[in-house]
Amino acid sequence: MQKVRFLQPGPQRCFQARKHSSWAARAPGHAAGRSWLRSRFLAVGQSRGTAHASEEAKDADNPLIRVSVGAATAVLDLFRGSRGQAGPKARSAPASSLDEMLFHLREDFEQHAYFVTGDINEALYDADCLFEEPTIRFSGLKKWQRNLKLLVPFFVEPTIDLKRLEIVSSSPPQLQAAWRLRTQLKLPWKPLVDVGGCTDYLVDPDTMQIVRHVEAWDVSPLQAIMQIFRPPPKQ
């Protein structure tokens, strides 16, 4: 298979379209959840593979961030106990074109709120898809799905607000979504997680499946992690 050279993913285009209309998706109660924080907290002790050139990856190697990640993981493990949730329902709708891919990704956001429910269209992704976030990097759709279950008991009425979703390149095929995630966590001090970001979806032109799922945030990794330790702002 010919190696595809994708556009460099990142926040350059992500935070330039604030005026676009948005659509807020609210997670169904007690659904399997998108482990926005947990997937990042799992970065402690994990190999990050090849060094990422972005500032987010450099930040992730900061000892202070690694300590904060470890502390946040310990807090969640302490309160999580043995609570668990069922996995996402399987759906099958493979894409045959970028337009179809765009349609199904929008459906995953607007109808399934996959970022906060884990109800993802598996057929859109390569089984070995590489997931990259500012504090973690790993391969495997199943691993991503397993990570989703770990935080869901802590979500309190999570929402994912889709700001923009578009095709940014047809050769090589690449799409991008801009979003805002907001949820309280079911911890005694009721912290509020409120982070904006974007996700680049890099598609293999031969299989029309997503092979890289790359996130960037509008806050630093440390700022995002520290939200779990703060009580919500007073109304």
185: closest CA among 158, 166, 203? 158
* Percentage, residues of the chain above pLDDT 70: 60
Residue with tokens 């050279």, as numbered in its chain: 5
Which pLDDT value is given to residue 33? 33
Peptide bond into 232 cis (omega under 30): no
Greater confidence, 102 or 150?
102
In this predicted structure, what is the pLDDT of residue 93? 63
What is the structure's pLDDT at 42?
A: 39
Q: How confident is the model at residue 91 (pLDDT cuts 50, 70, 90)?
A: low
pLDDT, residue 85, reads 47
Greater confidence, 177 or 83? 177
Domains of the chain: 23-229 (3.10.450.50)
The residue count of the chain comes to: 235
- C-alpha angle with apex 81: 78 to 87, nearest 5 degrees? 120
Q: What is this structure's pTM? A: 0.71
